[in-house]
Chains A and B, each alone.
Chain A
């Protein structure tokens, strides 16, 4: 079975600084996707960034980038130049190729302080 673990329940960062959220996962499969979702307070979940397991290059989306270590089964999210609007729950998620059962971690609550 696939599992996703986020070991940091809460984190905080000063505005404009950089923060890294950790995620590890467990699978015996080789083809899969990893995601980071953001869930702002009382708002719906949106996709921040995704990574295909077959790609060695780390995905980037503007201020968001990942450090994907396939052998270590690690998938961390780096947020650069943090903004107040980044305050949210962040969920790491995993799904197998052509599968619809997405597995989520327990989440990390990030607070960006002014």
Chain B
């Protein structure tokens, strides 16, 4: 399978704990995106990387959130001191940079439940 993969698929944690998710993009894709999707809503953009550089961050990405993409390959999204409001599906997508249009290919997501 050469699509976008995400691990873990499900994570249950207690309020106040730290969690880390991983995303492995399609191998030749240089752009990587993180989205959050809450129940009954569409995905909301969090941040994106071009290679290893984090080029844009949404205001939704509070100080408790940090994302990295070392060496421009896989990416991690860490949430510190989780809150119940962080419960959501976290989606990763990747794309190959092209002028004007970049089709984003999505992973299956990591569902986070904060108790």
Contacts and interface: CB of A to CB of B under 8 A. Distances in A.
B100 interface: yes
A106 B109 CA distance: 17
How extensive is the interface on chain B, given as a class? 20 to 34
Query: What DSSP secondary structure best describes chain B's contact surface?
Result: loop
Given A43-B108, A46-B106, A101-B56, A106 B101 contact: no
Contacts, number: 54
B106 A44 contact: yes
Interface string B76-95: 00000000000000010000
Nearest to B107: A44
B102 A106 contact: no
Contacts of B55: 100
Nearest to A47: B103
B43 A104 contact: yes
A1 to B, nearest CB: 11
A100 B102 contact: yes
B31 interface: yes
Interface of A: 4, 33, 37, 43-47, 50, 52, 91, 93, 97-98, 100-107
